Homo-oligomer: A and B are copies of this chain.
Amino acid sequence: MSGQRVDAVRNRRRVLEAAFDEHARHGAALGMQDVARRAGVGIGTVYRHFPSRDALIEAIAHPFFERGLLLAQSVREEVAEEDRFAAFARGFARVLADHGVEGHCTWDAPAAEPVRAELRTLISGFVEAGKRKRTLRRDLTAEDAFALLWTIAALVEAADEPIWQRHLDLVLDSLRGKPPRNLLAPAIDRAQWDRFVRSTRGSWAE
């Protein structure tokens, strides 16, 4: 009986990992059959653990929020007030990239409400701290920061790391409301950008 439990738990994890991979590859259009195959289980097993496609996708999104929250907490613990927002933004992009998940789609998963509320509080704190320390423009609001994170998420999902790193550098530096500093990330050249544009084509011409 508890032996079976062990199997069930292991299967659940397998399915979730497989769903994760498939989601990274095919986005929200992932196929249940494909998930089952990749997990090495029957499709019935997928449905036992996640009663519908949507439930599965929500489950995929969940750890993303956890890591986001963890990130925010560790930023609060370990980063000086003046750098918290930038640190979080960079870490957030990294989480998104590592997840390979359609971030701004899962960002709003219904089940994530509590986590999201806490995240919001933390991020608001980062913004306030930055403004106090004059490392963020004084007129920046928490909502401005959210919108910014949202656009960054969209870019991270779609583009390769050099592109979003550069964008992040540029935008974060600009938001200081002071004369530019040297940007660390190298500029994107024309070929890189073209490759990106071409790569997005698949999304609808498939």
Shortest CB distance A96–B (Å): 14
Complex Cα–Cα for A171 and B116 (A): 25
Residue A188 is within 8 A (CB to CB) of chain B in the complex: yes
Question: With A146-B193, A179-B177 in contact, do A140 and B28 touch (Cβ < 8 Å)?
Answer: no
B147→A159 contact, CB < 8 A: yes
**CB under 8 Å from chain B, chain A span 57-98:** 57-58
**CB under 8 Å from chain B, chain A span 23-59:** 27-29, 54, 57-58
Residue A137 is within 8 A (CB to CB) of chain B in the complex: yes
**CB under 8 Å from chain B, chain A span 191-206:** 192-193, 197-198, 200-201, 203-205
Residue A104 is within 8 A (CB to CB) of chain B in the complex: yes
Q: Which of B116, B141, B204 contacts A187 (CB 8 A)?
A: B141
Residue A163 is within 8 A (CB to CB) of chain B in the complex: yes
Residue A19 is within 8 A (CB to CB) of chain B in the complex: no
Shortest CB distance A119–B (Å): 11
Q: Which of B106, B179, B198 contacts A178 (CB 8 A)?
A: B179
B204→A143 contact, CB < 8 A: no
- The closest CB in chain B to the CB of A201 belongs to B108
B205→A54 contact, CB < 8 A: yes
Complex Cα–Cα for A204 and B67 (A): 21
Enumerate 27 A-B pairs (CB-CB under 8 Å) in ascending A order.
A28-B204, A57-B204, A58-B205, A104-B154, A105-B203, A107-B197, A110-B201, A110-B205, A116-B197, A138-B180, A139-B170, A139-B187, A140-B170, A141-B187, A142-B190, A143-B188, A143-B189, A147-B159, A147-B163, A147-B167, A148-B171, A150-B158, A151-B155, A151-B167, A154-B154, A174-B175, A178-B179
- The 3 A-B pairs at the shortest CB distance, nearest first, are namely A28-B204, A151-B151, A174-B174
Given A144-B170, A151-B154, 17 other A-B residues pairs in contact with their CB atoms under 8 A: A54-B204, A54-B205, A107-B197, A107-B200, A109-B201, A143-B189, A143-B192, A144-B167, A144-B187, A144-B188, A147-B155, A147-B167, A150-B158, A151-B167, A154-B155, A174-B177, A177-B179
